[in-house]
Amino acid sequence: MDQTKIRNIAIIAHVDHGKTTLVDQLFKQSGMFRQNQVVEERLMDSMDLEKERGITISSKNGSFHYRDHLVNIIDTPGHADFGGQVERVLQMADGALLLVDAAEGPMPQTYFVLKKALAAKLPIIVVVNKIDKPAARPDWAVDEVFDLFVKLDAPDDLLDFPICYASAKNGFATLDYNETSENMIPLMDFIIDKIPHPQGDPTASLQLLVSSISYSSYLGRLGIGKITSGTLNINDQIVVMRENEAPVPARITNLYHFVGNKKEDIQSASIGQIVAVAGMDTITVGMTYTDAQNPMPLRAVELDPPTISMTFTANDSPFHGQEGKFVTSRQLRERLHREILSDVALVVEDLQDAQGYKVSGRGELHLSILIEKMRREGYEFQVTRPQVIFKTINGQRQEPYEELTIDVDEEFSGNVISNLGNRKGILLEMNTNNGLTRLKYKIPTRGLLGFRGELMTETKGTGVMNYIFAEYGDYVGPMKNRKRGTLVSAEQCKATAYALSSLQDRGKFFIKPGDNVYEGQILGEHCRDNDLAVNPGKGKKLTNVRAAGSDDAAVVEPPTIMELDRCISFINDDEMIEITPESIRLRKILLKENERRRAKKMA
């Protein structure tokens, strides 16, 4: 294909600023679908978790034709925890669309993705989205974006960025936000006219850096990337290698390009095309497909290091093996090592002093998505509380810090500031506009563990928080985030309404009558700061003497529903989460009360 007729663009933005919706509209208005064809929303969100949460978790490839050009689109995640996906897929792009919400302006993740795009020297089109919002302020959003470019030391030629205004939800784009439009043509014209075509020599040695991995039940692992040099044909004998490593021979068995959000067979591909290649079962992100006669591997992008870790172990609770399909330590290890082949921001290490695996990632959400995926696949295992990854720099202990942005109603800002002060947060900026307060903090990553749930409680569910890794800084000392203890089962039994009803004044329960529990399982949150062992299976003593009021039914309040994210935020260092396909239980690491007391004395 003529490389001058190809445009490769990445869609980058903060979470929930409309990337996937914009891609839907570009696909629909390019004439890709029949007029009477039923098209689902959020075409590029292929995972169930993405559709349930309304966020993009893994990057996707798609394409459409416009004005005799092929436009390849790379939809990237918007959450900072999945920044590793953004860093590596930007290598496939020759330009980027930076989406900014017209009301919110640039957010922490906007800073992160723009920094990566500028480091790759990509020309950028700024799209101010959601101009149909009542609170939209497009001029202010553009000024904020310009300030962000300057803050990131963007070269002068990129400071004069083209601007397009859009409402992806309503399907239109315009060059003047005071005028509405009927379609996305102004933006599609911008893409063709402002984004350069891919550069490279089609007669040189083949070079294709694998930036993403896909799976096929028939063909195994597929390496996805952009051809930056040479051509690629079916049945070519090539080599696969990393920089400074020995080449491994391979043969191209199948070749695909992207049409819409699907893959189609092709016989050959050349400069600038983004393709999926089959023929190498051990292919991983960062490898290069190159000529066997003249191998020239490309350098893989260096990723930011993980900042948080959890320990994964096989389930050893009294209920182990009852609900899961994959329950052994070996199966757990295989699954974790399979994940790091496609998620390069994840690190898995075997524990030296115990059975289990240390899994490190970018944040709580990054690891919770992995846990949820494994749970749905039938895995049964346990995880510990997230721990931040410390470093020693110049003999000083250092810990990771995050840049935190919070939007809350003005009436709740005092409580939030007080809470963050206790978590060692440093207030950088505070702005109030129309009753809404925006707080910017620099805070240790440890201070954010468990904070999201407290923010929702303090702001009655209206607070919005976003954070991004800032830097490593000085260790700020011990920090206690959870203020209350737990209610722990003293024996294995079936919970009764009579017992739970009589214990309700001791705290909030996570279980309901009829649930099976075991000794050492966490049943709820204590109203005080210590742990309390209770008997949830206690039954009512039956006699043949009847008295007024003795037959009143036990009234039990509905339990607090503990979802996975909430469990990860809740647990302490001496607690674990038991994950099965059907249940999520909280437990103490030491199940017996006398063992816990002994460990506390020795601590």
Which parts are annotated binding residues for GTP?
16-21, 129-132
Amino acid identity, position 290: T
The alpha carbon dihedral of 53, 57, 58, 63 has a sign of: positive
Are the C-beta atoms of residues 360 and 389 closer than 8 Å to each other?
yes
Are the C-beta atoms of residues 45 and 51 closer than 8 Å to each other?
yes
How far apart are the C-alpha atoms of 135 and 14, rounded to whole Å? 18
How far apart are the C-alpha atoms of 266 and 254, rounded to whole Å? 8
Residues 6+ apart with CB under 8 A from 388: 307, 308, 309, 399, 400, 444, 445, 446
Token pair 């101010």 is found at: 128
Strands 486-489 and 532-534: parallel
Token pair 């460990």 is found at: 599
Amino acid identity, position 402: E
Are the C-beta atoms of residues 524 and 510 closer than 8 Å to each other?
yes
Q: What are phi and psi of 345, to 5 degrees?
A: -85, -5
Surface-to-core class of residue 201, CB atoms within 10 Å of its CB (0-12 exposed, 13-18 middle, 19+ buried)? exposed
Other Cβ atoms within 10 Å of 264 Cβ, number: 11
Q: What are phi and psi of 99, to 5 degrees?
A: -90, 135
Exposure of 477 in the CB half-sphere (CA atoms within 13 A)? 4
- Cα 472 to its chain centre, rounded Å, is 21
Amino acid identity, position 371: I
Q: Hey, what are 352's tokens?
A: 């030296």
How far apart are the C-alpha atoms of 436 and 438, rounded to whole Å? 7
What's the angle, vertex CA 395, arms to CA 391 and CA 400, rounded to 5? 25
Secondary structure element (H or E) that encloses residue 545, with its range: none
Strands 124-129 and 163-167: parallel
Token pair 């410390």 is found at: 390
How far apart are the C-alpha atoms of 469 and 255, rounded to whole Å? 38
Secondary structure element (H or E) that encloses residue 288, with its range: strand 288-291
Amino acid identity, position 483: K
Strands 6-13 and 95-101: parallel
Are the C-beta atoms of residues 513 and 538 closer than 8 Å to each other?
no
Binding residues: 16-21, 129-132
